[in-house]
Structure 1
Amino acid sequence: MSQTGHICVPPLFLDSPGKPCMKWKGWLRAFENYIISIDGQGYSPERKKSLLFGLLGKAGQEVFDSLPVYVNPHGATAPLNEYQEAVRRLELQYAEECNIMVGRHKFALRKQEEGETIEEYIACLRVLAQDCEFAVMTDTYIRDQVVFYCHSKKVQERLLSCRNPSLKDVIAIAKAVERSMVSSKELANTSQASNVFYVQDSRKHVPGNSERAASDRGGGRRQLVCYRCGSKDHLADSRACPAVHKSCSKCRKLGHFAAVCKAKKYNTGMKVSSVSENDTDADADMVLSIDGEDGRVKGPIGSVMIGVIKLPFTADSGSPLTLISDRTFDSKWQDVRLHETDVSPKAFGETT
């Protein structure tokens, strides 16, 4: 439609021979709205007919002149005025015969599509309802269609909880639920982003001396290690890896040492009475396992002579250190005096 100031003028109905620019019913509604917008309700029938004739277009005017004069049916209460008679003649020529049952079938099949707002859905239902002749029941049928076939189950549940809402109530409720769903989704996305940031931040740790040295030697690049045995001299696909055919004493699976085992839940039943942090520059060594308070160890074991005393130990721990418990030490070397050390042992996987 063209605009004159803030007034929308309907397009020419039939400017050239052929098919009209739009359906007659829709064009007539646009023309009548145009009359209202220019305060033309009080115009005389002759003036309204003149405006109608001017917007028919050249080909439309020629068709109108060829139409037979409309005759009121027998029993009509009052004759039509000049404007009404012109509209009736054009209506008989261009109005499409509509099967009400087909129109209502199309209306009943129309469901709200994904991504379509409730207002867009209702606007589409109003267009379809024009061919259904619902008359004063139009809003009721539209309301029922929205309740039965809205896309969101949350909207449907909320509408069904109301006893007998009007179409206006249905629109207000559906829009409120749609807004809350959008807000909830935005909140969930924001919360998820915050959680990811927290996890990443909580895993930061200060690198030890060995890590800093490796970084310095490699020009700041991360040094790769074998995930089977923990060696820095080769990768896991190397034939020289000693762990390829070894069984893990932690998870009992083949192909890696316990020192690099990634099993999440494992309880050795053994405890270290006390391990203190050391702020010296000495590197911290990883400890996989020590003997328990009852003097027993789990997994493949061997034996080692410490002086004249023979003790069992884990045969394949993959750790540079093998520790004994304070109870075992006190029972075997009561007269031996211990000295402090700058070695800070840590359980495998710890970073502090």
Structure 2
Amino acid sequence: MSSFNIPDKLITTGNLAENWRIFQQSLNIYLLATGLDKAEEEWKIAILLNLIGEEGIKIYNNFSGSKTTYKEVIQLFHEYCEPKKNILHSRFLFFHRDQEIDEPFDEYMNDIIKLAKDCQFKCNDEAIRDRLVLGTSDKETQQKLVIDGDVTLEAVTTRLRMAEISRKQVAALRPIEQHNIVVNEITTKLINCKWCGKKHEANIKLCPARGKTCMKCSRKNHFASVCKSRQVKNVQQETPCNSLENNEEDNEYYCNNIQKTVSFNQHLERMHAYY
């Protein structure tokens, strides 16, 4: 006898009807497992009162009906703990029970099943199926189930449960993907390139201006938007082209501009000398 689990006492606070239902189920399992379900009526009543607790005994003492058989005592407790229900109110609670965001599907389904017990539906499975589909927070799977049409309760529970598992698996992979993105950003050093004016890796071969001709100064390997050359004015003497360095410093002088400016100044001097 001691190897069997003894039912917990009846909890008289909270949802008394549900508490009584659980206690009665546990008691029936205990009596069947121990073979006491075949005991005499008085013995079974004594077992019930021994397990139900002090609050349950107080309720028993207030019963006015016949208490000679075990079945009569069970019925008195049933009537006390589960008074006549308001079916409309029970169905109101059932049809307005939606799944909360991030609420596990199994918790939502179990609550729907509990609410359905008090609704006295003619087809309990269909009502539960409809509520699971219409109340789920998974709108994508909901739409697919509605399109599929007359699916069974078993199919609905399977698909909603599998969809939840898939979402959790995808969510578990996101931190890994985000970590890889951060690592790639750290290992790839970007620079603000002075040749093209854009941001790219610190590799001159990756510069989009490489090999291109500047539209401003006609030199290669940089764009006009970042070109630093300027026209030279009032040059007093000719400067040979080979004296200019081929670089990209801030003050660059180009051979063609210099030759044109020097030639123009010489022409003015010759005109003044003539007149």
Displacement after TM superposition at 1:126 (Å): 1.7
Change (3 A) 1:60 1:196: closer
Change (3 A) 1:195 1:43: same
Partner-residue secondary structure (3-state), 1:134 = coil
- Equivalent pair of 1:12/1:56 in contact (CA under 8 Å): yes
Partner-residue secondary structure (3-state), 1:187 = helix
- Equivalent pair of 1:147/1:156 in contact (CA under 8 Å): yes
User: Partner of 1:32 in structure 2?
Assistant: 25
Choose which of 137, 144, 160 in structure 2 pairs with 1:151: 137
Displacement after TM superposition at 1:108 (Å): 0.5
Question: In structure 1, how many angstroms separate the alpha carbons of the residues matched to 2:144 and 2:26?
Answer: 36
User: Partner of 1:74 in structure 2?
Assistant: none
User: Partner of 1:292 in structure 2?
Assistant: 218
User: Partner of 2:8 in structure 1?
Assistant: 10
Question: In structure 1, how many angstroms separate the alpha carbons of the residues matched to 2:125 and 2:133?
Answer: 12
Aligned residues: 236
Choose which of 163, 168, 179 in structure 2 pairs with 1:193: 179
| Deviation digits for residues 93-145 of structure 1 (CA, Å, limit 9, x no counterpart) | 3433320000000110000001111101011112222221226x222211111
Change (3 A) 1:111 1:11: same
Partner-residue secondary structure (3-state), 2:98 = coil
Question: In structure 2, how many angstroms separate the alpha carbons of the residues matched to 1:290 and 1:200?
Answer: 36
User: Partner of 2:270 in structure 1?
Assistant: none
Considering only aligned residues, what root-mean-square deviation do their CA atoms show, in Å? 4.4
- Equivalent pair of 2:99/2:135 in contact (CA under 8 Å): yes
1:23-62 equivalences under 5 Å are 23-37=16-30, 39=33, 40=35, 42-44=37-39, 46=41, 47-62=43-58
Choose which of 155, 162, 183 in structure 2 pairs with 1:169: 155
User: Partner of 2:146 in structure 1?
Assistant: 160
Task: Give, as a single letter, the amino acid of the residue that structure 2 aligns with 1:89.
Answer: L
| Deviation digits for residues 185-215 of structure 1 (CA, Å, limit 9, x no counterpart) | 333432232123223212179xxxxxxxxxx
Partner-residue secondary structure (3-state), 1:133 = coil
- Equivalent pair of 2:8/2:52 in contact (CA under 8 Å): no
User: Partner of 1:238 in structure 2?
Assistant: none
Partner-residue secondary structure (3-state), 1:171 = helix
Partner-residue secondary structure (3-state), 2:77 = helix
Partner-residue secondary structure (3-state), 1:303 = coil
- Equivalent pair of 2:228/2:251 in contact (CA under 8 Å): no
Q: Comparing both structures, which one devotes a greater share of its residues to helix?
A: 2
| Structure 2, unpaired ranges of 5+ | 200-208, 242-247, 261-275
Check if 1:83 corresponds to 2:70. Answer: yes
1:1-352 equivalences under 5 Å are 7=5, 9-12=7-10, 23-37=16-30, 39=33, 40=35, 42-44=37-39, 46=41, 47-70=43-66, 82-134=69-121, 137-203=123-189, 291-292=217-218, 301-303=230-232, 305=235, 308=238, 319-320=249-250, 322=252, 324=254, 328=256
- Equivalent pair of 1:35/1:41 in contact (CA under 8 Å): no
Question: In structure 1, how many angstroms separate the alpha carbons of the residues matched to 2:196 and 2:86?
Answer: 76
- Equivalent pair of 1:290/1:322 in contact (CA under 8 Å): no
User: Partner of 1:78 in structure 2?
Assistant: none
| Deviation digits for residues 65-97 of structure 1 (CA, Å, limit 9, x no counterpart) | 4422349xxxxxxxxx82211112223334333
TM-score, normalised on structure 1? 0.54
Instruction: Give the share of equivalent positions with the same residue, in percent.
Output: 19
Question: In structure 2, how many angstroms separate the alpha carbons of the residues matched to 1:6 and 1:52?
Answer: 16
| Deviation digits for residues 140-190 of structure 1 (CA, Å, limit 9, x no counterpart) | 211111101101122313433433322222221111111111222333432
- Equivalent pair of 1:303/1:310 in contact (CA under 8 Å): no
Question: In structure 2, how many angstroms separate the alpha carbons of the residues matched to 1:20 and 1:201?
Answer: 62
